[in-house]
Structure 1
């Protein structure tokens, strides 16, 4: 599970941002994770309490937003969800597509109290 190491790095980043902005209390951390990302949201949620233990983020809530894994068909130019359609365009059935989004993993928002 590489998620723990990634979450620890996110916590360090957020703590540095908090220090630079003189934040003493953070209410919520919002992460965005693409559904095609190598990060598994339920693993992120599971390891979050251990990763924040003893840090500035110890009492924060974690919110995860899932971003769709969309592709654009190279044949008909329609945008479709790759997972929902087994990587095949639902309009023309082509398997030739360009990835538009879905591999993201980012800090979207730090909500201070």
Structure 2
């Protein structure tokens, strides 16, 4: 489970941002995770309490937004979800596409009190 190491890095990054901006309390942290990324949102949520224990983020609410794995069909130029359509364009049936989104993992928002 590599999610724990990633969560520790997120905590370190947020702590640095808080220090740079002289924040003393953070209410909410919002992460965006692509549904095609190697991160599993459930594992991120499970690791989070251990990673923030004893830190500025200890009482922070974690919110995770899932970014869909969307692609653009190179044949018909339609956008479609790769997982829902098993990698095949539902409009023309072709498997020739360009990835638009879904691999992301980023800190979207840090909400201070």
Same fold (TM over 0.5): yes
The TM-score with structure 2 as length reference comes to 0.99
Deviation at 1:13, TM superposition (A): 0.3
Q: Distance in 2 between matches of 1:46 and 1:20?
A: 28
The secondary structure found in structure 2 opposite 1:42 is helix
Correspondence 1:25-64 to 2 at 5 A: 25-64=25-64
Q: Mark the runs of 5 or more structure 1 residues left unpaired by the alignment.
A: none
Root mean square deviation of aligned Cα: 0.4
| C-alpha distance in structure 1 between counterparts of 2:66 and 2:41, whole Å | 8
Uncovered stretches (5+) of structure 2, i.e. residues with no partner: none
Partner of 1:99: 99
Measured after TM superposition, the shift of residue 8 of structure 1 is 0.1
* TM-superposed deviation, 1:48: 0.3
Q: TM-score, normalised by structure 1?
A: 0.99
Please give the alpha-carbon distance, in whole angstroms, between the structure 1 residues aligned to 2:56 and 2:103: 28
CA deviation after TM superposition for structure 1 residue 97, in Å: 0.6
Q: 2: CA distance between counterparts of 1:45 and 1:4?
A: 10
Which contiguous aligned blocks of 4+ residues in structure 1 show a shift greater than 2 angstroms? none
Q: How many residues align?
A: 113
In the alignment, what sits opposite 1:112?
112
* Alpha-carbon separation, structure 1, partners of 2:11 and 2:53: 10
Looking at structure 2, the residues matched to 5 and 55 of structure 1 have their Cα atoms a distance apart, in angstroms, of 16
